[in-house]
Structure 1
Amino acid sequence: MGQGQQEKVSTSLAGAVSEEISASLAPVDAELERRYPGDPGTRQPVHTVYVPGDVFAADTLRSWGDRALATLDEHAPDAAAFAAVLGLSDELAEPVHSRVRAKLEREPIEDLRIDFEDGYGPRPDAEEDEAAARAARLVAEAYANGTAAPYMGIRMKCMEAPVRDRGIRTLDIFLSGLIAAGGLPEGLVLTLPKVTYPEQVTAMVRLLEAFEKAHALEPGRLGFEIQIETSQSILAADGTAAVARMIQAAEGRATGLHYGTFDYSACLGVSAAYQASDHPAADHAKAVMQVAAAGTGVRVSDGSTNVLPVGPTEKVHDAWRLHYGLTRRALARAYYQGWDMHPGHIPTRYAAVFAFYREGFEQAAARLSRYANRTEGDVMDEPATAKALSGYLLRGLDCGALDIAEVARLTGLTRADLEGFAAPRRGDLTASAQ
């Protein structure tokens, strides 16, 4: 048959068959859209820093940045020294070191949580009332004067009976203070800890609904993170994955699942010396969280290490290597966020993140460019892979590991192009790249 000859197309099914199938699947189509809307496409911070409510001050962010810089200057004063500690290649040494220093000077903390739970503990009601009101004032002032982190908020006490009323009151005081100071900031984040039953998530939803109604806010304005710190949140009494039900119980308000390394490990009886984010029990919990959250728009965050980079240089270097390795391990497993507990952790947090994005940058850019231009290469990529490649580049841009100019130079794409590839229509992911 000649190439110019038109093929004869034949069908056997009446059009009504397709219409009937579509009608029968309409509820499923709607359910897919409701339950699995995909990633929101907004920036995800690379870490969350917890500061007790009584310690938080107007200069906390700058203080952490200055202390991190001082630690870096004392224990790894130049790019070669820092690279030697962490095992960075010669090609990465200078770019990573210079970007870490610039980040610590410009934006030392991406996400700050003022803690009224474990880091704060039980206090007299009047004391916690005052601390919550003070936190609201300082957060409002930070956003007003441009010194805020991109994301800021509080971790309240949990919904368990002994502390429930106290947690609700603290949240009310904090949010009411923000409203009185001019409104809720765009970067506001709330964290609900020690969630064990989906009903506790539902209670949080009802609480936020009541606050929105009290202040005539847009329904759904307030979202929250769910902290996974108990075995029951992973495996419920009936054998189901409770965390999946928690996401649905949030009714679209859940923004993240945060793994609590030490509470979860203790819950399973892991001895203190082995409580770490790379323990098999931690890997299992986070894998379940990751699968439950996939496609829902809820993001997963790793936990922290409690080994602090303090003391003589040798001990600082050991702690840095541990933290760097755990962070790189999490990134490879698609946990793009974690917790940091000390200013000395910040240099290695950013070093790990920047190295992760910079060392794979050229390959990712080349693959995405070939996909976008429909040119052949040594890998046959599909829409799902293009989504992953563009998401990788966007996360690198958001944290400062990459610059838009260098991404554009190697890909020929704008940020809007990248965002388009990162958020394809659902049907596009099932179609093969041509």
Structure 2
Amino acid sequence: MTGALGRGALGPADLARIDAHLAATDALLESAYPGDDGTRQPVHTVYVPADRFTPDLAAQWGADALAAGDEAGGLERLAVQVGIDGALAGPIAQRVAAKLAAEPIEDLRLDFEDGYGDRGDAEDADALAAAQKVAAAVAGGTAPPFIGIRFKCFEKPTRARGLGTLDLFIGGLIEAGGLPDGLVLTLPKVTTVAQVEAMADAVATIERAHGLPDGRLRFEVQVETPQLVLGADGRSPLARLPLAAPGRISGLHYGTYDYSASLGIAAAQQSMEHPVADLAKEVMQLAVAGTGIRLSDGSTNILPLGERTAEAWALHARLVRRSLERGFYQGWDLHARQLPTRYLATYAFYREGFDEAATRLRAYLSQTPGAVLDEPATARALAWFVLRGVQCGAIGDDEIADRIGIDAAALAALAHPRLAAGPQN
């Protein structure tokens, strides 16, 4: 379609010349910036030492989290204590209780890195055992929706060990019945683009060896070193990652303590909200905006135990909310007693924004004039917000139909127009 071309100074030949000049831009936008694919993103990742995983671990954490809520006088009381409005506290607490009973962990990582240590060749047996246990959990319906391993980094001293564990784990899963749909692999302590390229090479080789489809094995990159944020050439390697491993990188995870320590931040000041953390995370956001690569914030190591319980719960809830408000919809949890505040804060975030989002979406879809005139991009953002709330359990499908007048499939299509409408995973 040429539109009005030919009626003024510009003709078809001019359009052809400009099209040719912008062909590379068109191809880049199409390949490198497809946008989010609309599938579910977990609200958190739980890390446990690989050899401590059992198929019933998620249920155990859920029971421990519910017991911690009871210890606080009930989840409703805890919600109020961490700053959630009293009118919302009761309904949110009910939803969180149901969540902790049914799906307490959304994403679980069996850790062969910092949480596991150096055990030499004994790691081989643990890698194979981990594969068997994960397969058993998946078969038994006790595995979280997303599950996988973090192996050792690709620096020279640990490279062979990390690759060996990755290889054994994938092979063990396949022998035990196949790869879980929600398989997640995490590459830690990345310093250069070359390490990410090496990881892409490794998983492609594993795919070919096992007859897996090209691109089946994707991975997360942990942002734990300043060299990945700002390289020796004065540019950010983060921005090069999507093109260095096209379609392979599923997420970038901020590593609170390794990153802070590498910049000389004193241990007492290392935090998800330290200025150096915010700068790194802002660069992460800029680097992968529009690529479909997702972001995760880090963790707090102040655990709700003993005399620090109330302080730790308040801190965790505040930091979870802070991350959500800054566009980081996932974070790390290190202890079962962090789960109550993870879900209380997350559900409050979506419940507090739901009324306005639903009202504006209904007005947008019906073309009814309202106090806010929303454009298509804003409507997509509103739908995306509500969809995330549905996917984590903060908002019910029935509420979508009642308040917006559409079902979950139509909501997903509104949030992600490139996708065919259909239920989201």
| TMscore range, shorter length | over 0.9
- Would the aligned equivalents of 1:197 and 1:246 in 2 still touch at CA under 8 Å? no
Q: Indicate the residue corresponding to 2:184 in structure 1.
A: 189
- Would the aligned equivalents of 1:371 and 1:381 in 2 still touch at CA under 8 Å? yes
SS of match in other structure, 2:93: helix
Output the CA distance in 2 between the equivalents of 1:168 and 1:359.
45
Instruction: Using the TM superposition, give the Cα deviation of residue 77 of structure 1 relative to its aligned residue in structure 2, in angstroms.
Output: 2.1
Output the CA distance in 2 between the equivalents of 1:47 and 1:257.
13
Partner residue of 1:106 out of 98, 102, 109 = 102
SS of match in other structure, 2:98: helix
Q: Indicate the residue corresponding to 2:390 in structure 1.
A: 397
Deviation string 1:379-419 (CA, Å, 9 cap, x unpaired) is 12112111110110110000000001111111111222212
Q: Indicate the residue corresponding to 1:123 in structure 2.
A: 119
1:266-415 maps to which residues of 2 (within 5 A)? Answer: 266-312=261-307, 315-415=308-408
Instruction: Using the TM superposition, give the Cα deviation of residue 247 of structure 1 relative to its aligned residue in structure 2, in angstroms.
Output: 2.6
Output the CA distance in 1 between the equivalents of 2:234 and 2:373.
40
Q: Could you tell which deviates more after superposition, 338-347 or 381-390?
A: 381-390
Instruction: Using the TM superposition, give the Cα deviation of residue 90 of structure 1 relative to its aligned residue in structure 2, in angstroms.
Output: 2.1
Q: Which runs of 5+ in 1 are unaligned?
A: 1-7, 427-434
Instruction: Using the TM superposition, give the Cα deviation of residue 376 of structure 1 relative to its aligned residue in structure 2, in angstroms.
Output: 1.2
Instruction: Using the TM superposition, give the Cα deviation of residue 78 of structure 1 relative to its aligned residue in structure 2, in angstroms.
Output: 5.0
- Would the aligned equivalents of 1:75 and 1:316 in 2 still touch at CA under 8 Å? no
Matched to 1:277, the amino acid is: M
Instruction: Indicate the percent of aligned positions where both proteins have the same amino acid.
Output: 55
Partner residue of 2:34 out of 29, 33, 37 = 37
Matched to 1:391, the amino acid is: W
Q: Does 1:235 align with 2:219?
A: no
SS of match in other structure, 1:87: coil
1:49-68 maps to which residues of 2 (within 5 A)? Answer: 49-68=46-65
Q: Could you tell which deviates more after superposition, 82-91 or 94-103?
A: 82-91
Deviation string 1:242-268 (CA, Å, 9 cap, x unpaired) is 111123222210000000000000010
Q: Does 1:259 align with 2:254?
A: yes
Aligned length: 415
Change (3 A) 1:357 1:78: closer
Output the CA distance in 2 between the equivalents of 1:425 and 1:112.
29
Instruction: Using the TM superposition, give the Cα deviation of residue 15 of structure 1 relative to its aligned residue in structure 2, in angstroms.
Output: 3.1
Instruction: Using the TM superposition, give the Cα deviation of residue 109 of structure 1 relative to its aligned residue in structure 2, in angstroms.
Output: 0.1
- Would the aligned equivalents of 1:53 and 1:131 in 2 still touch at CA under 8 Å? yes
Output the CA distance in 2 between the equivalents of 1:250 and 1:425.
22
Deviation string 1:286-320 (CA, Å, 9 cap, x unpaired) is 000011111001001000000000114xx211110
Instruction: Using the TM superposition, give the Cα deviation of residue 76 of structure 1 relative to its aligned residue in structure 2, in angstroms.
Output: 2.9
SS of match in other structure, 1:190: strand
Output the CA distance in 1 between the equivalents of 2:197 and 2:333.
29
Output the CA distance in 1 between the equivalents of 2:319 and 2:407.
32
Matched to 1:43, the amino acid is: R
Q: Indicate the residue corresponding to 1:82 in structure 2.
A: 78
Name the TM-score, length of structure 1 as normaliser. 0.93
Output the CA distance in 2 between the equivalents of 1:133 and 1:122.
16
- Would the aligned equivalents of 1:46 and 1:336 in 2 still touch at CA under 8 Å? yes
Runs of 4+ aligned structure 1 residues displaced above 6 Å come to none
CA RMSD of aligned residues (A): 1.5
SS of match in other structure, 1:308: coil
Output the CA distance in 2 between the equivalents of 1:285 and 1:24.
35
Partner residue of 1:95 out of 75, 91, 95 = 91
Name the TM-score, length of structure 2 as normaliser. 0.95
